[in-house]
Amino acid sequence: MKEIYLDNNATTRVDDDVFEEMRPYFCELYGNPSSMHYFGGQVQKKVDEARQRVAGLIGAHPEEIIFTACGTESDNAAIRSALEVFPNKRHVITTRVEHPAVLTLCRGLSKHGYRVTELNVDGEGRLDLDELRSAIDENTAIVSVMYANNETGVIFPIEEIGRIVKEKGALFHTDAVQAVGKIPLNMAESTVDMLSLSGHKLHAPKGIGILYVRKGVPFRPLLVGGHQEKSRRAGTENTASIIALGKACELAGRYLEDENTRVKAMRDRLERELLSLIPAARINGGKADRLPNTLSIAFEFVEGELILLYLSELGICASSGSACTSGSLEPSHVLRAMGVPFTCAHGSIRFSLSRFTTDGEIDTVIRELPQIIRRGREMSPFGRELLQKS
Ligand code: PLP
C-alpha cells in the first residue's frame, strides 16, 4: 500500500535533491569544519554556502543565522537569551496557542518567579492586539508569538505585533517553524528580532534548525562550550544536515509560488468538497488568514482517533486535534483556546499538504472520507440522530 501522506505539518519527506546534497558529508567529506587542514576547510565552505542559502530564503544576512538542533532548541534559546539579557525584566508574553516548545518553557518560567501572560485568541484563532497592547509594559523582556499555527494554519499579523512590541522596548521572537517555505518572509524589512525555523518541516532531515538573531540584538547562548557559530551555539556542527538545510531552503524559495497556487488550490478543493459532502462539518480558523497547505476540519459527533484509524487503514496519514495526556484524549490546547465546542473539537482532523501531494491523492480522500465519517457517526447515539436528520 502506497501511503497518502497528508501530515506535512508534523514532518516532511526529505527531498531527493536534498538527500543527494548531504550524502557525501557522512563517509567521504566527514572533516570537522573547525579543523585547520584542507579536509575540514572544504566542509566549512559548504557550511558557509548553506548559511547563505538559509539567509536568502528569509531575507537575512548570513551572520544572523545560528544553526541549532531543532525548532524546539531555537525557541528555548531565544526566550532564555532575552531573560539573561534583561535580568531585571521578569515578564514574558506569549499566546495560548503556541507549540509546546514555547508554551511548556513559559509555563515552567512562571514557577520560577517570572510573570507570564498568555494572550487569548478568538473563535477563529485570531489574536486581539489590544490585549497585547495592555499586557506589555516596561518589565516585559520578550514577546514570543508564533508566525503561523501548526494545527489550524492561522497566520498572525507578525509585523503589526512587532510594531507594538518595539514601542515598549521588549524583544520580539517568532516561532516561524510552520511558516517558512509556505509564505514569503523578509527579515530585511521586519520588526522581528529573533525567528525559529526547523529543517524537517521543509523537506530537510530531522534534527536541524536555525535561530535567526537580528544584527545588533543582544544574545546569550543556550549551549556554551566551543567557539562554533561565533560562540553563539557550542557543539561540533551537524554538517551534513546543515548542508541539507541549505539546499532545502534554496528549493523552498523556488517552490514558494507553487505552494501558494497549486498546493493551495488542492487544499481549497479538499475543503470545499468535504464541506459539501459531509453534514455538520466546519473549518477551524476558516475565517482567518491561513497557511496555503493546512486544513483543520471538525466533524461533529465522531471521534477524531476513529477517523484517523479508518484513514490509516487506507494508507491515508493525517492527524487529529487531540493530545493524548495521561491516558485520556483531551481536545488540543489550540482548539480549546479557540472555544471550539467539545463535540466538534473531538472530531477535528488536520490535513497538511506539501509539494509532493497530488490531485489523485486529494481525490481519494474526497471519495473515502464521507463514508468514514458516516461509519464513525453510526457508533454514537448523537451521531445516529444527526445521520437521521441529514
Ligand atoms: N514550533 C512549531 C510551530 C512546530 O510545529 C514544531 C514542530 O511540530 C516545533 C516548534 C518544534 O520543532 P522541532 O520538531 O524541530 O523541535
**Same domain, residue pair 217 and 361:** no
Task: List, chain by chain if needed, residues with CB within 6 Å of any ligand 1 atom.
Answer: 70-72, 99, 101, 146, 150, 175, 177-178, 198, 200, 209
On whether residue 1 sits in a domain, the answer given is no
- For the domain that residue 122 is a member of, what is the CATH number? 3.40.640.10
Q: Are residues 122 and 226 in the same domain?
A: yes
Residue 127 lies in a domain: yes
| Closest alpha carbon to 246 in 21, 13, 43 | 21
pLDDT in tens, the chain (390 residues): 899 999 999 999 999 999 999 999 999 999 999 999 999 999 999 999 999 999 999 999 999 999 999 999 999 999 999 999 999 999 999 999 999 999 999 999 999 999 999 999 999 999 999 999 999 999 999 999 999 999 999 999 999 999 999 999 999 999 999 999 999 999 999 999 999 999 999 999 999 999 999 999 999 999 999 999 999 999 999 999 999 999 999 999 999 999 899 999 999 999 999 999 999 999 999 999 999 999 999 999 999 999 999 999 999 999 987 665 555 578 899 999 999 999 999 999 999 999 999 999 999 999 999 999 999 999 989 899 999 988
Domain end call among 254, 284, 304? 254
Q: Is residue 205 part of a domain?
A: yes
> What CATH code is carried by the domain that includes residue 306?
3.90.1150.10
* Residue 206 backbone class (left: φ over 0; alpha: ψ -120 to 50; beta: rest): beta
Closest residue (by CA) to atom 13 of ligand 1? 71
Cβ within 8 Å of residue 43, ≥6 positions away: 25, 29, 30, 31, 32, 33, 239
Closest ligand 1 atom to 198 CA: 15
For the chain, give the longest Cα–Cα distance.
76
Look at residue 165 and tell me if it is in a domain.
yes
The amino acid occupying position 318 is: A
Q: Is the domain of 119 the same as that of 88?
A: yes
User: Are the C-beta atoms of 208 and 229 separated by less than 8 Å?
Assistant: no
Structural domain contains residue 120: yes
Cα separation, 256 vs 184, in Å, equals 7
Are 285 and 142 members of one domain? no
Q: Which of 236, 254, 272 is the last residue of a domain?
A: 254
Number of domains, the chain: 2
Q: Are residues 249 and 276 in the same domain?
A: no
Which of 27, 249, 324, 344 is catalytic? The answer is 324
Determine contact, residues 149/125, Cβ cutoff 8 Å.
yes
Query: 179 C-alpha vs ligand 1 centroid, how far in Å?
Result: 11
**375 belongs to a structural domain:** yes
Q: In this structure, are 84 and 223 located in the same domain?
A: yes
- Residue 53 in any domain: the answer is yes
Centre of ligand 1 to C-alpha 66, Å, is 17
Residue 56 lies in a domain: yes
- 274 and 202 co-located in one domain: no
**C-alpha cell of residue 56:** 536568502
Same domain for 293 and 188, yes or no, is no
| β-bridge partners, 69 | none
Question: CA-to-CA distance for 240 and 220, rounded, in angstroms?
Answer: 26
The amino acid present at 314, given as its one-letter code, is: L
Ligand 1 pocket test target in 9, 11, 178 with most atoms within 8 Å of CB: 178
CA-derived radius of gyration, the chain: 22
**How would you classify the pairing of strands 209-213 and 194-198?**
antiparallel
Q: How far is the CA of 101 from the centre of ligand 1 (A)?
A: 7
| 344 counts as catalytic | no
Residue-number span of the structural domain to which 268 is assigned: 256-389
What are 100's three cell numbers?
509546546
The verdict on 189 and 272 lying in the same domain is no
Same domain, 54 and 110: yes
- State in Å: Cα 174 to ligand 1 middle: 12
Q: How far apart are CA 78 and CA 67, in angstroms?
A: 13
Ligand 1, from 7, 8, 12, 72: best to mutate by most atoms within 8 Å of Cβ? 72
Same domain, 246 and 300: no
Domain C-terminal end among 254, 287, 306: 254
Same domain? 78 vs 225: yes
Helices (H), the chain: 16-22, 24-27, 38-58, 71-85, 100-109, 129-135, 158-167, 228-231, 239-258, 264-277, 304-313, 333-337, 342-345, 359-377, 381-389
